[in-house]
Amino acid sequence: MSAFPSFGPDAEVHELTTHEGVTMRVVAQGEGPCIVFVPGGDQPAEAYTQLFARLSGQFRCISYDPRGAGQTTAPPSPWSMSDYAQDCARVIDAFCDGRAIVSGLSLGGLVTQATAINFPTKLSMAIPMGTAAYIDGFTRDWMQAEIDIRKAGITLPDYFLAPHYAVYAFPAKALADDVLWAEIKEAYTVRFRDRNPQDTINQWEACLDFDCREALKSCPVPFRVVGFSEDIQTPPSMCRLVADLAPDGVFHEIPGLGHVSMSRHRPDLVAQKLRNILDEVLVS
């Protein structure tokens, strides 16, 4: 089993090289209004395969491997969230004629916010999911601990990978499903077994350095922020603050879902929420 489901046979794979020395693997599927999906930490473009399958009939779905994941290469770290936003802007220019809806989960949610703030004319709407304007409290302590354990050279054994990471990704009811747990266990072991520790450090430090609370207050891009009621990593209160700070911000909470429920658990519910948001905004 692979760490993520594969894209459909009609998906297009491209290589985009920018003048900043970044070469990105970009995947596109479908026709219609352009949506750029930004992966979360430790995730390649494949994190969105199940959403692509549900949305590419109506939309031109674009995703890419961000710095520190998949096949994308970039100059040496440290990387800032502004660097990630610039990469996203280059994808919009190259594949969406310079303007798109942008949505991202976790690190991808922060990139979505940074792109809206730094390149507002390139976004018709921002839909960050499982996100934060600033990471604090338990989430900051947990992320810093994950960074520090890697800096100390400690490697988690295979048998501990899924039990450790899955609890931060899925709600209790999902983990209690024996069939789903067997799938998650294998996929998460494969996903984190060969993960380069430095890539995780670089990505997660960029997240902890990011604070857009003041900048959001004057961002003209419409924000539709999605939170998940059972999200341990970014509780709904963190997501709601993003919507509250943005001048045109609306918060949506999906009950019963965890931080990464869009993959393997309930992608149907996440896709339906996105479709409802997009239909409402595009029609208006």
Question: Residue 1's pLDDT is what?
Answer: 56
Nearest of 83, 105, 94, 92 to residue 38 by alpha carbon: 105
Question: Residue 47's pLDDT is what?
Answer: 94
Per-residue pLDDT of the chain (284 residues; tens, 9 = 90+): 567 888 888 999 999 998 889 999 999 999 999 999 999 999 999 999 999 999 999 999 999 999 999 899 999 879 999 999 999 999 999 999 999 999 999 999 999 999 999 999 999 999 999 999 999 999 999 999 999 999 999 999 999 999 999 999 999 999 999 999 999 999 999 999 989 999 999 999 999 999 999 999 999 999 999 999 999 999 999 999 999 999 999 999 999 999 999 998 999 999 999 999 998 776 55
Do residues 113 and 48 touch, judged by C-beta distance below 8 A? no
Q: What is the DSSP string of 31-60?
A: SSSEEEEEP-TT--GGGGHHHHHHHTTTSE
Question: Residue 19's pLDDT is what?
Answer: 85
Question: Residue 280's pLDDT is what?
Answer: 78
Nearest of 236, 237, 280, 240 to residue 257 by alpha carbon: 236
Question: Residue 283's pLDDT is what?
Answer: 54
Rounded CA separation 243/236 (Å): 11
Question: Residue 194's pLDDT is what?
Answer: 85
